[in-house]
Amino acid sequence: MLGAEPGDLITDRQSYVTIYTDIAKERMKNNQCPACGKPKSEWNRRTDWRCCSKECTEVFWKEHDKSLSWEIIRYRVFKRDKGVCAMCGEQMTWEFDGKQIPNDSQLVCDHIKPLAMDGEMWDMENLQTLCIECNKKKTAEDLANIAEYKKVNNKKKLHKTFKNIYIL
């Protein structure tokens, strides 16, 4: 599950991320239904659809769950940051096969700009590695910032409403 490589990530227009399994990728490359392998030439459905049937679409989305892709992107952030907390600089790794592997039970993948402030969920640039302790501090800061952000945004909305009334 954690063996995904860059290039497995295909971002679509709706800004969520689908990570295809190896077999699904192989089938799509060969013009087959990613769920059952049926060649497009035999489909009773438009061939620009993802799967050959409604049933296969269901199977496909069960296998390509979004929570799985979060697991992968999270680990990729830890790997990029070498398991080093962006706030305190402590490295949380354990040795495996002579290599230092991020210890993901001790790390949190944090949205630098919180989602509640319209931060990007899937953008690697908006993600950082934090240790559990620093994440607690960051969360407290985030909550304060989010409250402020909401205040400003509500004011803007209110302002807009007044303006509309004025125009009327």
CB of 163 to Zn ion, least distance (A): 45
For Zn ion, the closer CB: 52 or 109: 52
State whether residue 125 is helix, strand or coil.
Answer: helix
Cα–Cα distance measured from residue 78 to residue 69, given in angstroms and rounded to the nearest whole number: 14
| Number of chain positions touching Zn ion (CB under 5 A) | 11
Name 24's Cβ contacts closer than 8 Å, sequence gap at least 6: 34, 35, 60, 63, 64
Find the binding residues for Zn ion in span 79-98 (CB under 5 A). Answer: 85, 87-88
Find the binding residues for Zn ion in span 1-60 (CB under 5 A). Answer: 33, 35-36, 38, 52, 56
With contact defined as beta carbons under 8 Å apart, do 101 and 79 qualify?
no
Q: Is 108 in the site for Zn ion (CB under 5 A)?
A: no
Q: Around Cβ 120, how many Cβ atoms within 10 Å?
A: 14
For Zn ion, the closer CB: 21 or 122: 21
Name the site residues for Zn ion (rule: CB under 5 A): 33, 35-36, 38, 52, 56, 85, 87-88, 131, 134
